[in-house]
Amino acid sequence: MAVKIKTKNGTIDVSNDVIATVVGSAATDNYGVVGMASKNQIRDNLNEILRKENYSRGVVVRQQDNGVAIDVYIIVGFGTKISEISKNVQSKVKFSLESILGISANSVNVFVQGVKVLND
C-alpha cells in the first residue's frame, strides 16, 4: 500500500517503507530512545546479516481514509522518564511526517518494548 497525493501535475505515491524510514529516523533522534524493537525479526535479522541500515525497524504503518496511523516500538534508556520520551516521539514523528512527506498522521502509538541499562 502507498499513500497517494494528488497534485495538479499528477499523482505522487509514497510507499509504506518510505514512511516507516522517516518515522524510524525521527523516533531514534529523541533523547532517551536507545533503539527500535523489531516487529519482523526475520527481515530485520536478514538486514543485520547483510549489514544494511534499517530505519524502518519497529514501525508499523496502517493506511486510513484521511491519513495514516503509526505504531512505533522503541527501547528506552534506564532512568529516563518514559512518558516524556513517548510524548516527544509522538510530536517529532508527526512533525517529520508533515514537514518531510506532507502526510498527516491520525495517530502515533508508542509501544515501549524494553529498557536498556547504559554504561557511562
pLDDT, tens digit, 9 for 90 and up, residues 72-109: 999 999 999 999 999 999 999 999 999 999 888 999 99
The answer to whether residues 75 and 113 touch, using CB atoms and an 8 Å cutoff, is yes
pTM of the predicted protein model: 0.82
- In this structure, are residues 115 and 76 in contact, taking their beta carbons and an 8 Å threshold? yes
Candidate CATH numbers 3.30.70.1350, 3.40.50.2300, 3.40.50.460, 3.30.360.10; the one for domain 3-116: 3.30.70.1350
Decide which of 54 and 95 is more confident: 95
DSSP summary character for residue 100: I
**In the predicted structure, residue 119 carries a pLDDT above the cut 80:** no
Cα–Cα distance measured from residue 1 to residue 50, given in angstroms and rounded to the nearest whole number: 26
CB–CB of 112/82 below 8 Å?
Answer: yes
